[in-house]
Amino acid sequence: MSAVPSPALEETPQRISPRHRINVPLDLIVLRSGVPENLPARCTDISEGGVGAVVAGELATGQQVAVELRLPNVGVPVRARALVRYQSRLRCGLEFVGLTVEQREMVRYWVYRSVSRSADSKDLKEAKNGEPSTTAAPVAAAELAAAPRRRVRIVRRGFYGLIACMLALAGLGWWQWQRSWNDLEKRGPVAESRLRVSPETMEKRIVTKTEPIYPEAARTAGTAGLVVLDAVIAQDGSVERLRPVSGPDLLVQSATEAVRSWKFEPYLSSGKAVAVETTIAVEFRLN
């Protein structure tokens, strides 16, 4: 029974998580002397941590902006605050601030779909070249041709109702966006989001580690497995906050109580101890 690292993003000084190429319009709003200004922009890559963009305007490192973009095949736009991390000519990097769980799931969903489509395209290309495919064989063309085609008929009244609903949702989204921007103006500058450090790196910095107690109920039921926790490590190396991500319910509480007492060597950024986020995995084995 030991803590083991779970698959995670590689630690880099500039990038919290890997980015994926995308080419969609990006609405960017920046405050200039208290007046919101829209800058034409285009998103070139995206991750859970931020976006890369080409912006037709001047931005300053550390400046706070508001962004909105629509991911392909995702109906709801992503609206968030962001900090300018760098700008070189027209290219800049924006880090999300306060991204909600729902918005992160939207980005993860798009990344999953994008990676899946790339794999399917690769397999299709290999099949055309006579190479073996790593995924299930595509449906035969004859079967597709024989499949009955359904024609969707929309009556005029239903069509107008659909348009009305879409306009209502668009208006609601615009109102929420305006309210978010007003909140942004009231809050002013925000603190930078915490660094996310890989589990492998934080495991090497463990100073004090308490092994979890195997719950008797779980042992009797033959329950084993991996408990994954999202953790915030404070500047002094203590565990500030834990949030269960996955794992058997019978094991989560024991793992949480044990990890809460762990102590880490403070993580340094630019020579200064900072609080960081990481992922901790605790494995329970019956033998």
Question: How do residues 149-178 score in pLDDT, each as one tens digit?
Answer: 555 454 555 555 555 555 555 555 555 555
Task: Kindly indicate the confidence band of residue 266, based on its pLDDT and cuts at 50, 70 and 90.
Answer: very high
Question: How do residues 191-241 score in pLDDT, each as one tens digit?
Answer: 445 789 998 999 999 999 999 999 999 999 999 999 999 999 999 999 999
Section 129-156 average pLDDT: 50
pLDDT of 148 over the 90 cut: no
Contacts of 162 (CB under 8 A, 6+ apart): 154
Strands 263-264 and 206-208: antiparallel
Whole-model pTM: value is 0.39
Sequence letter at residue 47 = S
8 A C-beta contact, residue 282 and residue 209: no
Q: How far apart are CA 162 and CA 24, in angstroms?
A: 26
Contacts of 190 (CB under 8 A, 6+ apart): 64, 81, 83, 97, 98
Whole-Å CA distances, 66 to 43, 82, 231: 14, 6, 28
Please, what is the Cα angle at 33 between 28 and 36, to 5 degrees? 30
Section 251-271 average pLDDT: 94
Sequence letter at residue 259 = V
Q: How far apart are CA 4 and CA 75, in angstroms?
A: 38
Q: How far apart are CA 81 and CA 75, in angstroms?
A: 20
Encode burial over 220-258: b for 16+ CB neighbours within 10 A, e otherwise.
eeebbbbbbbebebbeebbbeebeeeebbebbbebbbeb
Q: Which has the closest alpha carbon to 40: 53, 52, 21, 22?
A: 53
Q: Which domains are seen in the chain, by residue range? A: 1-133 (2.40.10.220), 195-284 (3.30.2420.10)
Ranges 3-17, 70-84, 157-171, 230-244: which has the least confidence: 3-17
pLDDT of 280 over the 90 cut: yes
H or E element, residue 183: helix 156-187
H or E element, residue 127: helix 101-128
